[in-house]
Amino acid sequence: MRLFASTALALALGPFAAAAQTDITFQLWGSPQEGEVWARVAEAFHAGHPDINVKVEVADWDSYWEKLRVLVSGGTPPDVFAMDAPLYPDWQSRGALLNLQPYLDADPSALDGVFPLTLEAYKTKDGYFGLPRDFQAIVLYYNKDMFDAAGVAYPTDDWSWDDLRAAAKALTLDKDGNGKTDQWGFWAEAYDQEPFWGSVIWSYGGDIVDAPAGKTLIGSDAAAAGFEFIRAMWLDDKSMPTQSQLAQFGYDGFLSGISAMGVSGHWSVPDYAAAGLNFDVAPLPKGPAGRATGVNSAGFVISARTPNPDAAWQFVKFATGEVGQTELAKLGFAVPIRESVAKSDAYLKQAVPIRHQLFVDALAYARTKPVFRGYEDWASAVGDALATIWDGDADVADALAQAVKDGDAALAKAAE
Amino acid sequence: MKLKPADLLAFAVLLAGALMMVAPFVWMISTSLKPAAEQFDMRLIPATPTPENYSRIFELMPFHLLLWNSVKIAAISTFGQLLTCSMAAFVFATVRFPGRNLLFVILLITLMIPAQITSIPQFIIFKALGLYGTQAPLYLPSFMGGAFGTFLMRQYFQTIPMELAEAARIDGASLIRIFFTIYLPLSKPALAAFAIFAFLFSWNDLFSALIYLPSDLEQTTLTVGLALFQTQYAAQWPLMMSAALVSVAPMILVFILAQRHFVSGVAASGLK
Amino acid sequence: MNGLRPLGREKLWVLVLLAPTLLGLLLGTFGAIFSTLGLSVFDWDLLTKPEFVGLQNYAELPESRLFGKALWNTVTFSALYVPLVMAASFCVALLLNRGVRGEKLFRVLYFLPVVSSPTAVGLLWIWIYSEDNGVLNAMLGMLGVEPVKWLGAKMVLWSVVIANTWGAIGEGMIIFLAGLQAIPREHYEVARLDGATTWQRLFYVTLPAMAPSLFFQAVLATIHAFQAFDYIYILTRTGNGNSSFPTLVFSIYREGFRFFRMGDAAAQAVVLTLIILGFTWVYFRMQRRWGTT
């Protein structure tokens, strides 16, 4: 009889106990190491929420988006997934993401201490459908060994673009004397606006795009002056490697040790350190209209179709909170979105001894990277047109006219 | 057997071509043996060769698990393809029935549609069958024939004289018997070639593994692991090359095993 | 139409032998064909409900920024690649089939590029084609020729054709070797007794007997050419994930998976499929004519 009773109890409780455990999936792009960091965050979360298990899955950037599209359109979305701010409107406007506003209204202090600029990209008129996970501001990287060898003074916080140009010229060398350049003064990824040309245009007083109005703005005189500066450095001074010169060393000229300066975000720090470079960072130089840089933040979103929105929210809240952000800061590739963590040793005293504070200071003069529906189509259209300048096939005015035309067409198509 | 000038010329031409084919591999091996500091040193023989990269990649990623998953899935797929494609190819090549050509063309069209378009409908079907999250979508389709294999085997079966089948039939052999006792044994070279391709397709199938399996290094395949590995160590060519070489080794082994069946005796020129 | 006419119980066997393929057709092929055709008349962004637009996706193809360029690139690439890879792999198979010394080793060596990962070997091709320190330009330099921009607008077509051909010779070689083994040796014997020269044997014995293999490989190489992606993308990609030599498959991928326009992607895929189907039909006619003579 006792046996019977306990069996009955177990039968009665069995389904209940199982239902009390919630499994959620968190998918992100990145390296296996990043996956491990988030698995650690998930473990810390589980300790505080023993009823929620988070399974972390990581894939490389291309694979991640491909898989995500199939899973979401096939009706099997992950509960929580990583989002890149420029792509966020495409997903948000199509109803794929859960509105987090009710949770934020219920918990008004959730966003206290988060840098406001990092939140901007995720704000919509209906509230937040995602929250930033980290932020990236672009700064100037320089290779100390190359500066020392050439006897050039390190970049200062007061540099203008002309100072950078002069230093880049002095650092462009043919070291083995075979008539071919083997060290360039400067390298930048110039196809996407984020690492370089966006900041240059802003600091020359130009602007990039007004998506709601359907206008690509890089055709202005101020913007053209900025593009002309880049063109002159690249094609006249030849102090930047061309695409074909760069290709044989990989994709990042600073990383492969062929250029003395580069522009990038904090994500490059682990790679540069692993490559054994002796480097530090400086703010981006000033232009005629002052100093500017771009800020972009990757974020968390929750699928609109998750069966466990509450559990998913608990995890997102935890990961964007102090503990999650501290783990992220220790990883060394991103800047935390919380002021308290950005001021803590976890961020400032990382293994790689560079001026980490500078990435946080950049928020004072930074602007958010444009974020709108149809971003990728627009960016490809503009990038392809600009490529004709860098390849030396078109002059700045013609290429910009083409970029504005194709960019506006892409904006019109996205607005349909 | 006398050595003729034509044979010498053939050998010389083949050797020159083979050098071009093999040069990248030699270079990959060379790079995989270089320490990180030498990676852009263009010398063929590394100044300080080291096998360390090979042990490191196994520490950085569970390559042995990935290799095992991939070999298992590829072996099952290859078996399924060899069986079901030759069955269909035999019918297409030897049996007369209405709609044969139409059916064959429809089959061929699948090869021509780029996979990106069909991936989402296919996913919805597998999900409806309850197979999402299992390895079944990676090998199950191999047991449902396929355009490439059916086409390849049909073309080969067409070269087998029809009289053989007709004679066997007069002796009372059933179709299935003709298939197993005449067509399959005569088709060893084609089956070997097909096995290589079937294994290769499964081996290189990044997309299915990516979509249907959790991105979990214990369960997924080598191609997914390699793609992940390449994002992390993109700038570290010695590591990348070691990983790439480890990942093609099983494929080369399969090729060496299969190619023994290419030879059906004395080659044509050996006849005097 | 030749072949055995199935009688009585044999009809059942035919069904059994075809069953797996028929199941595959039912589950996969029809799904693939109908979904592609179906998607091409809808606007579908993968996330919200598809919207029927009739033939609008097709009508918009000519004004698409990428499609025309991608189509032209793909067609010119295929026109060079298909004959080149067919001829090269057929020659290699013929030479290997003579019974040269080290034949087995040669086969492995020629097969290596087929299994090599484009990501790994792509970098080597970039080095070969590199403007400043490239192997090709170094050799030209010794002859006193100015450096060539191999991956620049003028030469890029040839450069990608060569890299792709290199990667595919081994594939054709396998198909042709298997085909060559199927030629009954008596045919050569008879031809030799009739006093046929090497060339005559090639034209009157080998080539007709190889018609099925050549047909197969022509169809396959055409499909490969029109769907070529890996090496081309690696050799020509720009910093923002675009390509200076976009191909049709790249354009389809970009529309469908990056720009949320599955309908446009499907319409491009239908055009691509029709082109390949057209070539296949031509090959079919050629095989028939050739096979009967």
pLDDT digits (tens, 9 = 90+) for B65-95: 999 999 999 999 999 999 999 999 999 999 9
Same domain, A152 and A270: yes
Is a pLDDT exceeding 80 seen at residue A146?
yes
Q: What is the mean pLDDT of residues A152-166?
A: 97
Q: Which residue of A has its CA nearest to B133?
A: A76
| Residue numbers in C near B27 (CB within 8 A) | 124
Chain C interface, mutation test: which of A244, A246, A411, most C Cβ atoms within 10 Å?
A244
pLDDT at A62: 85
Q: What is the pLDDT of residues C45-65, one digit of tens each?
A: 888 889 999 999 999 998 888
For residue A179, what are its two tokens? 């008539």
In a domain, B112, yes or no: yes
Q: How many angstroms away from the CA of A83 is the closest CA of chain C?
A: 14
pLDDT at A249: 78
Percent of chain B with pLDDT over 70: 93
Cα gap A229→A241, rounded to integer Å: 15
Neighbors of chain A by Cβ distance (3+ pairs < 8 Å): B, C
> ipTM for the complex?
0.87
pLDDT at C284: 87
**Interface membership of C166 toward B (CB under 8 Å):** yes
CB within 8 Å of chain C, chain A residues 374-393 = 374, 376-377, 379-381, 383-384, 387, 391, 393
By Cβ distance, the residue of C2, C17, C174 closest to B91 is C17
| Residue numbers in B near A76 (CB within 8 A) | 127, 132
Q: What is the mean pLDDT of residues C241-251?
A: 88
Of residues C41 and A275, more confidence is placed in C41
Q: What is the pLDDT of residues B13-34, one digit of tens each?
A: 999 999 989 988 888 899 899 8
User: Lowest-pLDDT range, A208-217, A256-265, B161-170?
Assistant: B161-170
C175–B143 C-beta distance less than 8 A? no
Of residues A99 and A36, more confidence is placed in A99
Find out whether A408 and A214 touch, Cβ atoms under 8 Å: yes
Q: What is the mean pLDDT of residues A303-331?
A: 93
Residue A356 has φ and ψ, to the nearest 5°, of -60, -30
In a domain, C279, yes or no: yes
Sign of CA dihedral C59, C62, C65, C70: positive
Cα gap C157→C247, rounded to integer Å: 11
For residue A58, what are its two tokens? 């990581």
Q: How many angstroms away from the CA of A72 is the closest CA of chain B?
A: 10
B206–A63 C-beta distance less than 8 A? yes
Average pLDDT, chain C: 87
- CB count in 10 Å sphere of residue C284: 14
Is a pLDDT exceeding 60 seen at residue A140?
yes
Find out whether C253 and C274 touch, Cβ atoms under 8 Å: no
Cα gap B108→A386, rounded to integer Å: 42
3-state DSSP assignment of residue B119: helix
In a domain, A124, yes or no: yes
Is a pLDDT exceeding 80 seen at residue B271?
no
What's the burial of C193, exposed, middle or buried (CB within 10 Å: 0-12/13-18/19+)? exposed
Q: How many angstroms away from the CA of B99 is the closest CA of chain C?
A: 11
CB within 8 Å of chain B, chain A residues 239-258 = 249-252, 255-256
CB within 8 Å of chain C, chain A residues 260-319 = none
pLDDT at C271: 94
Q: What is the mean pLDDT of residues A266-286?
A: 92
- In this structure, chain C runs to a length of 293
State the residue range of the domain holding B180.
Answer: 56-262
Is a pLDDT exceeding 50 seen at residue C133?
yes
Same domain, A290 and A348: no
Same domain, A63 and A101: yes
Q: What is the pLDDT of residues C185-237, one digit of tens each?
A: 788 888 888 888 888 888 888 888 888 899 999 999 999 999 988 889 888 88
* Number of structural domains in chain B: 1
In a domain, B9, yes or no: no
> Rg for chain B (alpha carbons), in Å?
23
C21–B145 C-beta distance less than 8 A? yes
The separation between CA C230 and the C-alpha centre of its own chain, rounded to angstroms, equals 12
A61–B224 C-beta distance less than 8 A? no
Of residues B267 and C194, more confidence is placed in C194
In a domain, B20, yes or no: no
| Residue numbers in A near C241 (CB within 8 A) | 380
In a domain, C189, yes or no: yes
CB within 8 Å of chain B, chain C residues 8-47 = 9-10, 13-14, 16-18, 20-21, 23-25, 27-29, 31-33, 35-36, 39, 46
| Residue numbers in B near C23 (CB within 8 A) | 144
Find out whether C100 and C276 touch, Cβ atoms under 8 Å: no
For residue A54, what are its two tokens? 């988070």
What's the burial of C32, exposed, middle or buried (CB within 10 Å: 0-12/13-18/19+)? buried
In a domain, A2, yes or no: no
User: Lowest-pLDDT range, A305-309, B88-92, C1-5, C186-190?
Assistant: C1-5
Same domain, A230 and A95: no
Q: What is the pLDDT of residues A8-29, one digit of tens each?
A: 444 444 444 445 789 999 999 9
Q: Decide the pairing of beta strands A80-84 and A22-29.
A: parallel
Among candidates C276, C184, C289, C174, which has minimal Cα distance to C225? C276
Cα gap A219→A226, rounded to integer Å: 11
Same domain, A407 and A338: no
Q: What is the mean pLDDT of residues B108-126?
A: 84
Cα gap A95→A101, rounded to integer Å: 14
Q: What is the mean pLDDT of residues B163-181?
A: 90
State the residue range of the domain holding A290.
Answer: 138-295+374-415
Q: What is the 3-state secondary structure (H, E, C) of chain C?
A: CCCECCCCCHHHHHHHHHHHHHHHHHHHHHHHHHHHHHHCCEECCCCCCCEECCCHHHHCHHHCCCHHHHHHHHHHHHHHHHHHHHHHHHHHHHHHCCCCCCHHHHHHHHHHHHHCCHHHHHHHHHHHHCCCCCHHHHHHHHCCCCCCCCCCCCCHHHHHHHHHHHHHHHHHHHHHHHHHHCCCHHHHHHHHHCCCCHHHHHHHHHHHHCHHHHHHHHHHHHHHHHCCCHHHHHHHECCCCCECCCCHHHHHHHHHHHCCCHHHHHHHHHHHHHHHHHHHHHHHHHHHHHHHC
pLDDT at A6: 44
pLDDT at A78: 96
A72–C47 C-beta distance less than 8 A? yes
Helices (H), A82-213: 88-92, 101-106, 116-119, 144-150, 161-171, 197-203
Same domain, A205 and A351: no
In a domain, A353, yes or no: yes
CB within 8 Å of chain A, chain B residues 219-258 = 224, 227-232, 234-237
Cα gap A376→A211, rounded to integer Å: 13
Of residues C245 and C3, more confidence is placed in C245
Chain A interface, mutation test: which of B27, B56, B228, most A Cβ atoms within 10 Å?
B228
Q: What is the mean pLDDT of residues A250-261?
A: 89
| Residue numbers in C near B174 (CB within 8 A) | 9-10, 13
Find out whether C156 and C236 touch, Cβ atoms under 8 Å: yes
Helix count and strand count (H, E) for chain B: 14, 0
C188–B268 C-beta distance less than 8 A? yes
In a domain, B190, yes or no: yes
C21–B88 C-beta distance less than 8 A? yes
Specify the CATH number for the domain of residue B109: 1.10.3720.10
Cα gap B63→A368, rounded to integer Å: 41
**Interface membership of C244 toward A (CB under 8 Å):** yes
B235–A250 C-beta distance less than 8 A? yes
In a domain, B246, yes or no: yes
C27–B116 C-beta distance less than 8 A? no
Is a pLDDT exceeding 90 seen at residue B60?
no
User: Lowest-pLDDT range, A111-120, A223-232, B118-127, C85-94?
Assistant: B118-127
pLDDT category at A4 given cuts 50, 70, 90 is very low
B259: left (phi over 0), alpha (psi -120 to 50) or beta: alpha
pLDDT at B3: 63
Same domain, A116 and A130: yes
**Interface membership of A273 toward B (CB under 8 Å):** no
| Residue numbers in A near B224 (CB within 8 A) | 59, 63
pLDDT category at A299 given cuts 50, 70, 90 is very high
CB pairs under 8 A between B and C: 274
In a domain, B15, yes or no: no
By Cβ distance, the residue of A244, A250, A383 closest to C242 is A383
Specify the CATH number for the domain of residue C103: 1.10.3720.10
Q: State which amino acid sits at residue B114.
A: P
CB within 8 Å of chain A, chain C residues 129-148 = 130-134
In a domain, A158, yes or no: yes
For residue A321, what are its two tokens? 């909170």
Among candidates C239, C224, C119, C217, which has minimal Cα distance to C161? C224
In a domain, B14, yes or no: no
Same domain, A285 and A309: no
**Interface membership of B74 toward C (CB under 8 Å):** no
Most confident of B64-68, B228-232, C8-12: B64-68
In a domain, A179, yes or no: yes
Same domain, A250 and A383: yes
Q: What is the pLDDT of residues C25-47, one digit of tens each?
A: 887 777 788 888 998 999 988 88
Degrees (nearest 5) of the Cα angle B78, B82, B83?
A: 120
State the residue range of the domain holding C139.
Answer: 59-292
Q: How many angstroms away from the CA of C74 is the closest CA of chain B?
A: 14
Q: What is the mean pLDDT of residues B187-192?
A: 90
Q: How many angstroms away from the CA of C25 is the closest CA of chain A?
A: 21
* Number of structural domains in chain C: 1
Q: State which amino acid sits at residue B8.
A: L
Q: Which residue of C has its CA nearest to B116?
A: C253
pLDDT category at B272 given cuts 50, 70, 90 is very low
**pTM, to two decimals:** 0.88
In a domain, A261, yes or no: yes
In a domain, A91, yes or no: yes
Cα gap C45→C266, rounded to integer Å: 12
A71–B235 C-beta distance less than 8 A? no
Is a pLDDT exceeding 50 seen at residue B108?
yes
pLDDT at B264: 52
Helices (H), B233-270: 237-259
In a domain, C35, yes or no: no
User: Lowest-pLDDT range, A97-101, A340-344, A396-400, C193-197?
Assistant: C193-197
Is a pLDDT exceeding 60 seen at residue A87?
yes
Q: Which residue of A has its CA nearest to B228?
A: A60
Q: Which residue of B has its CA nearest to C124?
A: B24
pLDDT at A336: 95
For residue C92, what are its two tokens? 């290699």
* Number of structural domains in chain A: 2
For residue A407, what are its two tokens? 């960019």
**Interface membership of C46 toward A (CB under 8 Å):** yes
Chain A interface, mutation test: which of C259, C261, C262, C264, most A Cβ atoms within 10 Å?
C259
Cα gap B104→C195, rounded to integer Å: 41
By Cβ distance, the residue of B88, B112, B189 closest to C18 is B88
By Cβ distance, the residue of C13, C123, C188 closest to B174 is C13
C121–B18 C-beta distance less than 8 A? no
